[in-house]
Amino acid sequence: MENIYISPEAGLKVVERLPIYTRAETAPSMRLTERDSAILEAIHTFDGMLADYQIQRLFFSGRRQMQHRMSLLFHNGYVARPDRKRRAAISNTVYWLGKKGASFIAGLSGQNLKEFRYRKEPKWFTVNHDIAVNDFRLELVRSCNQCGDCQLEYWMPESEFWAKPDRVEYKLPNGKRKSRYIRPDGCFSIGRHGCRYQFLIEIDMATEDNPRFAREKVLPGLAYLKSRAYRKRFGDDIYSRWLVVTTGEKRMQNMVHRTSQIGNGRADEFCFSTFDRLLGANFLHEAIWNSGNSSDPQSIIV
């Protein structure tokens, strides 16, 4: 199927059939609107990539309207999207900044394109995971807006931890010591009534078994919260918990069980939920999180 661009000229409708996976040799005319600018800023803010349905959720009331506008931005070089082969391997069409879009965003802060840091292409082997991280973030914003008394103070994207990773040492159950870089999928802080709640995020797409998750995520994650590296990055007086969102109830319960076994009395520093639980819930206040220290779901902010 081809995108159709309709341009009124001299009272007539001129229909141009635009390719989907490559840019048109002659770009259709367009004027960059305030909404277009906001879309480009959002793509950059969401760690450099947004799925089509996420852009629709943020800026459009209908899918056809979104597709038409994103097609114009694509063919005019403001955004990029996958070619046919890449698109077939991922769950949704995704968009990232093209050079023209990156140059526009750089200019907002007085930078030129050469000094501006932006994602020039998605990490293709983690695209579906990165889409899920964006879904979590969108649900977080919705939950903050819904409850009214919670302010999202900041969101630190995964790319910050990859650019400047922290390394910690930890001990396995057999006594062997290991070290590992800590790279959460994100970190955010919530302010409420003068209190601050900080959380580190792990989005689990069921790509590794539960024992491995415990060894490679829980043990180093707990060590990180007590580490000098953590205090250097976040300060001495900020307490965090890990939030893990996974694919289903059975996997979540297995994770909770494994965490309770190796948590050494700190299993409540890992809270687990599922993607289904998050949808439509105010996941800050509602009891949809399980930890290794309790058999009943709890809220993460009370």
* CATH placement of domain 3-122: 1.10.10
Task: Outline where the chain has alpha helix (H).
Answer: 34-45, 52-59, 63-75, 84-88, 99-108, 127-147, 158-163, 210-213, 219-225, 228-234, 249-262, 275-278
Q: For residues 216 and 180, is the Cβ–Cβ distance under 8 A?
A: yes
pLDDT tens track for 20-59: 889 998 999 999 999 999 999 999 999 999 999 999 999 9
pLDDT tens track for 109-158: 999 999 999 999 999 999 999 999 999 999 999 999 988 889 999 999 99
pLDDT of residue 123: 93
CA distance 97 to 119: 7
Q: Coil, helix or strand for 201?
A: strand
pLDDT tens track for 241-291: 999 999 999 999 999 999 998 888 899 999 999 999 998 899 999 999 999
The percentage of the chain sitting over the pLDDT mark of 70, rounded to a whole number, equals 95
Domains of the chain, residue spans? 3-122, 128-291
